Amino acid sequence: MPDQLPSPKGLAVPSRRFSRLARFGGMASGVAGNMLVSGARQLARGQRPTLEGLLLTPANAMRITAQLADLRGAAMKMGQLLSMDGGDILPPELTAIMSRLRADARHMPAAQLLTVLNREWGKDWRSRFHRFDVRPIAAASIGQVHRAQTRDGRDLAIKVQYPGVRESIDSDVDNVAALMRLSGLVPKSLDTAPMLAEAKRQLHEEADYQREAACLARFGALLADVPDYSVPALHPDLTTRNVLAMSYVAGAPVEALASAPQAERDRVMTLLVQLLLRELFEFRLMQTDANFANYRHDPATGRLVLLDFGATRELPAAITEHYRALLRAGFAGDRPAARAAMIDIGFFAADAPSQHQDSIAEIFDMAMASLRAPGLFDFAERGMIGDIRDRGMAIAADREFWHVPPIDTLFLQRKFGGIFLLGTRLGARVDVRALLEPYVEGVAG
């Protein structure tokens, strides 16, 4: 959940399908109007406008993000995923606008909140609480969080789902996909149907708070003996499909550590990488949403606080072993083995053009070169990162090569990328090779 305090004034969540569809229609009309005005101006200056250039303007990005933020639910969640590149893919000015979707969620008005709680807990629910703060402490795409204290003394964080979210997931995903197709950014030859179907399935899972409660409890048990991590305790007596009750855990935004001493930044980033590797190779259970707001830092104890387990995913043993084989090949500098592992993982098909296979293999080898050398990996070192980004962008420019990897791979890469971006944000230095070695057999010395 985002860590910023929501604006004082709430905004009702459109909960009926017709009202949400009308919002999308209004968004599309406004974007089209902006495109016509911008196109006319360019023609008057003797310029030849393109559809992509007309759509991806700051004015249109502002309109789209504002509407997605008001809709919340799956529409906002999809927009958040598109804005997670940290400025490395989208133009910086558009990234800054899109990042509002991660920070500016509007909460429900009190009347709408009380309607939800009356339905979930019954109209006498207040008798169970000594205090329930109506103004939330956080608001996000699917729900908002309230601080509360029960009559029996429990200090809780209560996550309440926005009304109508679950019922609107399928149509929201379809409408956002239609906007992407309109932009011309997605080649018509690319089959996105499997990815969209999986996005809907994943969002339905995230909207089931009883499922998230089970995942929260599993992670709490898995990390119970590791004092460096703090996972909120589940309170099942107050948890329903639309309300999740857990213990309140204090903490500051993990990004605030960017100004902390280097040693503390390095320690916290080491904990993040260690957890990622345990999720992949030991637990085969991963919280795949690396939104920075899902991690907090408790300065009093030094613990890394873990939040939001809605995007938790079980990993097949095969995918874990494919990644182990890829790392093994990377450490050994064995390009044929690395290429075979990439095909198994689904980075590209076996019949993909050889020049693209070679380019991706080179990118992987560049990344592994820093990890093969003993010592600290500096997440803030931009030279190698810039080279990799430039090569990746060159490959992406060939739209005929665009390929949708298997869904497990997509979610894993989202998590890897998010953790890497967080390491970059913190300017951390971590001995990543030493952390990887226990999970990779036959590492070259």
- Averaged pLDDT for residues 338-352: 86
Does one domain contain both 266 and 412?
yes
Residue 402, pLDDT score? 56
Does the residue 114 lie in any domain?
no
Residue 117 lies in a domain: no
Is the pLDDT reported for residue 93 higher than 90? no
Looking at the fold, whether 182 and 312 belong to one and the same domain comes out as no
What's the CA gap between 402 and 406, in Å, rounded? 13
Based on the number of CB atoms within 10 Å of its own CB, is 407 exposed (0-12), middle (13-18) or buried (19 or more)?
middle
Do 193 and 262 fall within a single domain?
no
Q: What DSSP designation does 399 have?
A: G
Give yes or no: residues 173 and 257 share one domain.
Answer: no
State yes or no: pLDDT of 88 exceeds 60: no
Q: How confident is the model at residue 371 (pLDDT cuts 50, 70, 90)?
A: confident
pTM exceeds cut of 0.85: no
The structural domain count of the chain equals: 2
- Give the whole-angstrom CA distance, residue 128 versus residue 156: 12
Q: Residue 185 pLDDT > 70, yes or no?
A: no
Residue labelled with tokens 């023609």: 43
**Pick the residue with more confidence: 88 or 319?**
319
- Alpha carbon separation from 39 to 45, 58, 115 (Å, rounded): 10, 14, 46
pLDDT for residue 275 is more than 80: yes
More confidently predicted of 399 and 434: 434
- The proportion of the chain whose per-residue pLDDT surpasses 70, expressed as a percent, equals 66
Residue 150: inside a domain: no
pLDDT attached to residue 348 = 80
| Residue-averaged pLDDT of the chain | 77
- Mean pLDDT throughout 153-159? 97
Using the predicted structure, report yes or no on whether residue 24 has a pLDDT greater than 50: no
- Per-residue pLDDT tens for 287-303? 998 888 899 999 999 99
Question: Which residue has better confidence, 243 or 141?
Answer: 243
Rounded to whole angstroms, how far apart are CA atoms 31 and 41?
Answer: 15
401 and 284 in a common domain: yes
Is 403 among the domain residues? yes
Would the pLDDT of 3 be above 50?
Answer: no
Claim to verify: residue 322 and residue 390 sit in the same structural domain: yes
Average pLDDT over residues 104-127: 88
Residue 286 pLDDT more than 60?
yes
Per-residue pLDDT band for 314 (boundaries 50, 70, 90) equals very high
Residue type for position 58: P
Predicted local confidence at residue 273, as pLDDT: 97
Local confidence band at 70 (pLDDT 50, 70, 90 cut-offs): low
Assigned domain for 214 exists: no
Q: What whole-number percentage of the chain has pLDDT above 90?
A: 41
What pLDDT score does 168 carry?
80
The question of whether 289 is a catalytic residue gets the answer: yes
Which H or E run includes 143? strand 143-150
**Burial of 336 from C-beta contacts in 10 A (0-12 / 13-18 / 19+):** exposed
Give dist(CA 275, CA 338) in Å, integer: 24
If 0-12 CB within 10 Å is exposed, 13-18 middle and 19+ buried, where does residue 204 land?
middle
Would you state the pLDDT for residue 152?
96
Q: Collapse the DSSP code of 349 into the 3-class scheme (helix H, G, I; strand E, B; otherwise coil) and give the result.
A: coil
pLDDT at residue 44, rounded to an integer: 47
Mean pLDDT confidence for 69-73: 48
Looking at the structure, do residues 256 and 199 belong to the same domain, yes or no? no
Residue 115 placed within a domain: no
Specify the pLDDT at position 392: 55
> How does pLDDT run across 207-232, given as a tens digit for each residue?
999 999 999 999 999 999 999 999 99
What tokens appear for 39 in the block? 């196109």
Same domain membership, residue 189 and residue 97? yes
**Whether the predicted pLDDT of 74 surpasses 50:** no
What are the residues whose beta carbons fall under 8 Å from the beta carbon of 284, sequence distance 6 or more?
Answer: 314, 315, 316, 317, 320
Is the pLDDT higher at 109 or at 229? 229
Please give the pLDDT value at position 184. 56
Owning domain of residue 30: 17-107+164-204
**Predicted local distance difference test score (pLDDT) of residue 202:** 81
Tell me, yes or no, whether 302 and 441 share the same domain: yes
- Asked whether residue 301 falls in the same domain as residue 356, the answer is yes
Whether residues 199 and 254 share a domain: the answer is no
> How do strand 143-150 and strand 155-161 relate by DSSP bridges?
antiparallel
pLDDT score for 228: 97
What radius of gyration do the chain's Cα atoms show? 23
Lowest average pLDDT, out of 38-42, 173-177, 263-267, 353-357, goes to 38-42
Q: Are residues 259 and 176 in the same domain?
A: no
pLDDT of residue 25: 45
Q: Is residue 24 included in any domain, yes or no?
A: yes
| Per-residue pLDDT, 188 | 64
184 found inside a domain: yes
Nearest-angstrom CA–CA distance, 335 and 332: 9
Of 204, 225, 260, which closes a domain? 204
Structure tokens at 153: 């003394």
The pLDDT value recorded for residue 139 is 80
Q: Are 219 and 137 in contact (CB under 8 A)?
A: no
- Token digits for 112? 């709408």
Between 167 and 217, the more confident residue is 217
Kind of pairing between the strands at 304-306 and 229-230:
parallel
Query: Is residue 421's pLDDT more than 70?
Result: yes
- Which residue among the candidates 3, 266, 289, 408 is catalytic per the annotation? 289
Are 67 and 101 spatial neighbours (Cβ–Cβ below 8 Å)?
no
